[in-house]
Amino acid sequence: MCGIIGYCGRKPAVPVIIEALRCLEYRGYDSAGVASLCDGELLIRKDAGKVEEVIQKHELAGLPGNVAIGHTRWATHGGVSQLNAHPHSDCGGRVAVVHNGIIENNQELRQELTARGHRFSSETDTEVIPHLLEDELKNGRSLEQAVLSIAPKIEGSYALLALSLDDPGRIIGTRKNNPLIVGIDDHDYYISSDALAFSQYTGQVMGLEDNEVVVLAQGGIHFVDARGNRVAKQARKLDHSWAVSDKGAYQHFMLKEIMEQAQVLSRIVEQDGKMFTEIALDILRARQVIVTACGTSRYAALVGRYLFSRVGKKFCDVVMASEFGYFADSVDKNTVVIAVSQSGETADVVEGVKAAREAGAQIISIVNRPNSILTDLSHRVIYLNCGSEIAVAATKSFLCQLAIFYLLAFSMVNSFDAAVARLSDLAGDITRVLDWNKSELIKLSDRLQDKTDAYYIARGINFAIASEGALKLKEISYVHAEGMPAGELKHGTLALIEPGTPVVVICPADYTFAETLSNAIETRSRGAYIIGVSDRDSDIYDSWIRIPEVDELLYPMVAVVPLQLLAYYIAISRGCDPDKPRNLAKSVTVK
Ligand code: M6R
């Protein structure tokens, strides 16, 4: 949520910032802005709107200067408006700050600052920061000292960048519980929430620990700890294969990411069998195993729960990360917590994991983004290896999460290699399911585009796919959709079925087939329009999405793919932007 970028070096800074904002837009896209230092002036341009709109409207490309910061916003405190867009400034317009995170004590700080005569121009929590810095600078502190001195006063989470006319030629950055990474190319320095923002210029990066401060100046860079003591850092290489963010020939990232699923699944052979076996043993030995995640990642965990039980005979619970804290009392050193997160920076997941770690639990994380906050908190990390996922709607990361759970479950019975072989074969089935259904799904999306509600049902291991299919539809098409176990329908939701209501029935020809179909027939008797997702055709389907026949534990992986594509085409036919759904952002770094 919110992307920040800074550049200090020999090049014109704003073009670098603009390119970076385009890359960071997945983190928030309701407002954008830049601040540049040039010839004794602090130039700030910002507005509500998508990055491209703000770039054009304010002719950002023409802004001079070699030191600049930028921001793309996902609103938390204060509505979407020009005044609430970042960068934010102090009373005299001498300091500019961009921030990602939440300042929890902003109300108290605002009151204190107002009492001291500061005037605020936005409703944001962020604006307290430039005003706090203003006071420090007036007391003769350097910007670095000012940031060090105000950091302990700020409660909450932040990654922030500041520049000032009173200490020109430098950018100061610091972070707590939010990502910030530095890129170095000779005497050009970059700093951002995501290395993707500068990966086209450099592959040399340096991380920043919580509470550390970095100073990017035209003559060099240095890091200090919270007390101001110098910290030595080694640059490491960025994995460039991960940093690619090109749509290629596709109209949207979401479509590209759906289409590359067969290819990313084939990378499963790169997973380390020894590590899986060790982790599987830890899971089997643990007194209790809790999986925590949000959204799509949680649905992957729900499939994992069936796999652990069915294959490894190990029960685990799946707890929504935002609710995890309420169960923290029962976490101890005999608990294994598995945290699943594409981004590795979802605030609810990170917070739960911190609490569990403090309680002595062993933390295993399943993540996509390398070097994320979650990976730093984990004892063991399993990477999805599916490359950068840019579309807000998760697709390929979900498929890879399912594959990881499959490998973990089979590692519990010492069958890692066999599981890898089965997953490798599945890549062909993923390609087939896309080829078979593409044109039918386009037609179906035209038929469904005006519907206001849709229900997705399934049983057993396929149940979470119903929830995931519904989540895809609602988040990118704004159609109300619910996914549920098919047997649960008659306990209330059946009352909502009317003639023409779409019901997506995921009923592969496995142990769930007969009962799921019978629940579908109950909805059909009330006039529902039945979309069957199965390898077996049936008279009761009004539309059939055909999936290949696979091992019954693998049906979730082939069933989810056409549902992603269906949601995509419905979004397109309703005129929605599937990559940037309203009100959402890819990384949810606030609680
Ligand atoms: O990065 P994470 O996997 O932790 O993200 C969790 C959810 O925010 C995410 O899956 C969200 O539900 C997606 N937009 C769904 O497509």
Residue-averaged pLDDT of the chain: 95
- Whether 591 shows a pLDDT value over 90: the answer reads no
Counting residues of the chain whose pLDDT is more than 90, the rounded percentage is 92
**What pLDDT was estimated at residue 328?**
87
Residues 456 and 563 in one domain: yes
pLDDT attached to residue 219: 86
Mean pLDDT of 37-48: 96
- 231 and 371 in a single domain? The answer is no
Q: Which atom of ligand 1 is nearest to the CA of 587?
A: 1
Mutational pocket test of ligand 1: of 27, 291, 342, 389, the residue with most ligand atoms within 8 Å of the beta carbon: 342
CA distance 363 to 436: 41
- Cα–ligand 1 centroid distance for 21 (angstroms): 21
CATH number of the domain at 77, please.
3.60.20.10
**Is any atom of ligand 1 closer than 6 Å to the C-beta of 322?**
no
Ligand 1 centre from 118 Cα, in Å? Answer: 39
CA distance 510 to 495: 28
Exactly one of 2, 8, 23, 400 is catalytic; which is it? Answer: 2
Question: How confident is residue 449, by pLDDT bands cut at 50, 70 and 90?
Answer: very high
What pLDDT does 182 receive?
97
Specify if 413 maps to a domain. Answer: yes
Pick from 364, 347, 334: nearest CA to 156: 347
164 strand-pairing partners:
95
Ligand 1 centroid to Cα of residue 381, in Å, is 18
- Residue 372's pLDDT is 87
Identify the residue whose C-alpha is closest to ligand 1 atom 12.
295
Q: What angle do CA 363, 366, 370 make, to 5 degrees?
A: 105
Residue 468 lies in a domain: yes
Residue 334 and residue 308 in contact, taking contact as beta carbons nearer than 8 Å: no
Establish whether residue 516 lines the binding site of ligand 1, counting it when its CB lies within 6 angstroms of any ligand atom.
no
pLDDT (tens digit per residue) in 229-279: 999 999 998 876 666 668 889 999 999 999 999 999 999 989 999 999 999
Distance 112 CA to ligand 1 centre (A): 37
**What are the residues whose beta carbons fall under 8 Å from the beta carbon of 340, sequence distance 6 or more?**
291, 292, 293, 297, 298, 300, 301, 304, 349, 365, 366, 367, 401
Domains in the chain, number: 2
Q: Which two tokens stand for residue 586?
A: 């890819």
- Angstrom distance (rounded) from CA 17 to CA 80: 21
For residue 394, the ligand 1 atom closest to its alpha carbon is 16
**Is 402 found in the same domain as 277?**
yes
Statement to judge: residues 169 and 47 lie in one domain: yes
Same domain for 314 and 386: yes
Between CA 403 and CA 407, with CA 404 as vertex, the angle to 5 degrees is 90
Pocket lining: 297 vs ligand 1, CB cutoff 6 Å? yes
The answer, as to whether pTM is greater than 0.75, is yes
Domain match, 229 and 316 both: no
Query: Which is the closest atom of ligand 1 to the Cα of 586?
Result: 14
Chain segment 190-203, per-residue pLDDT in tens: 999 999 999 999 98
Q: Are residues 279 and 364 in the same domain?
A: yes
| pLDDT tens-digit readout, 545-555 | 999 999 999 99
Work out the average pLDDT over 222-231: 97
Give first-to-last CA distance, the chain, whole Å: 11
Q: Are residues 564 and 430 in the same domain?
A: yes
Residues 55 and 167 in one domain: yes
Task: Report pLDDT for 244.
Answer: 62
Ligand 1: does its nearest atom lie under 6 Å from the Cβ of 349? Answer: yes
In this prediction, residues 441-458 reach a mean pLDDT of 97
- Which protein residue has the closest C-alpha to ligand 1 atom 7? 295
Tens of pLDDT, residues 502-547: 999 999 999 999 999 999 999 999 999 999 999 999 999 999 999 9
Q: Where are the alpha helices (DSSP H) in 217-368?
A: 240-243, 253-259, 261-265, 273-285, 295-312, 321-324, 347-358
pLDDT digits (tens, 9 = 90+) for 56-91: 999 999 999 999 999 999 888 889 999 999 999 999
- Nearest CA among 423, 455, 448 for reference residue 558: 423
Alpha carbon of 240 to those of 101, 202, 208, 322, 443: distances in Å?
A: 27, 9, 20, 33, 39
Q: What b/e sequence results for 4-27 when a residue is b if at least 16 CB atoms lie within 10 Å of its CB, and e otherwise?
A: bbbbbbeebbbebbbbbbbbbbbb
Classify residue 247: in a domain, yes or no. no
Q: Is the CB of 295 under 6 A from ligand 1?
A: yes
Q: In what order do the strands lie in the sheet with 88-89?
A: 88-89, 95-103, 156-164, 170-176, 213-217, 220-224, 230-231
- The DSSP code for 271 is S
Same domain, 301 and 387: yes
State residue 241's pLDDT score. Answer: 64
Tokens 């490309």 belong to which residue?
Answer: 61
Which domain range does residue 152 map to? 3-237
Residue range 562-575, pLDDT digits in tens? 999 999 999 999 99
Q: What is the pLDDT of residues 141-179, one digit of tens each?
A: 999 999 999 999 999 989 999 999 999 999 999 999 899
Inter-residue contact 32 to 85 (CB < 8 Å): yes
Residue with the smallest CA separation from ligand 1 atom 14 is 393
**How many angstroms does the Cα of residue 343 sit away from the middle of ligand 1?**
8
403/316 Cα distance (integer angstroms): 17
Q: How far is the CA of 102 from the centre of ligand 1 (A)?
A: 19
285 and 164 within one domain: no
Answer yes or no: is 582 within a domain.
Answer: no
Q: Which of 257, 343, 389 should be mutated for ligand 1, with most atoms under 8 A from CB?
A: 343
State whether the beta carbon of 393 lies less than 6 angstroms from ligand 1.
yes
Where does the pLDDT of residue 464 fall: very low under 50, low under 70, confident under 90, or very high at 90 and above?
Answer: very high
579 occurs within a structural domain = no
Residues 286-299 have a mean pLDDT of 98
Based on the fold, state whether residues 169 and 231 are members of the same structural domain: yes
Query: What pLDDT does 370 receive?
Result: 84
Alpha-carbon distance of 543 to 557, in angstroms, equals 20
In a domain, 162, yes or no: yes
Phi, psi of 279 (to 5 degrees): -65, -40
Phi-psi region of 584 (alpha: psi -120 to 50; beta: other; left: phi over 0): beta
Q: Which two tokens stand for residue 530?
A: 């039945």
According to the model, what pLDDT value does residue 77 have? 87
Task: Let me know if 2 is a catalytic residue.
Answer: yes
Strand-pair category, 204-207 with 181-185: antiparallel
Q: Does residue 467 have a pLDDT over 70?
A: yes
Which of 294, 341, 473 for a ligand 1 pocket mutation test, highest count of atoms within 8 Å of Cβ?
294
Q: Which of 207, 237, 267 is at the close of a domain?
A: 237
Distance 222 CA to ligand 1 centre (A): 35
| Contact yes or no for 363/371 (Cβ under 8 A) | no
Compute how many other C-beta atoms are within 10 angstroms of the C-beta atom of residue 230: 9
341 Cβ below 6 A of ligand 1:
yes
314 catalytic? Reply is: no
Task: Report the alpha-carbon distance of residue 503 to residue 299 in Å, rounded.
Answer: 19
Domain membership flag for residue 192: yes
Q: State the pLDDT at residue 588.
A: 86
Amino acid code (one letter) for 38: C
- Nearest-atom number in ligand 1 for the CA of 395 is 16
Q: 62 burial class (0-12, 13-18, 19+ CB within 10 angstroms)?
A: exposed
Read off the CATH number of the domain in which 364 is found.
3.40.50.10490
Alpha-carbon gap, residue 446 to 531, rounded angstroms: 14
The answer to whether position 520 is within a domain reads yes
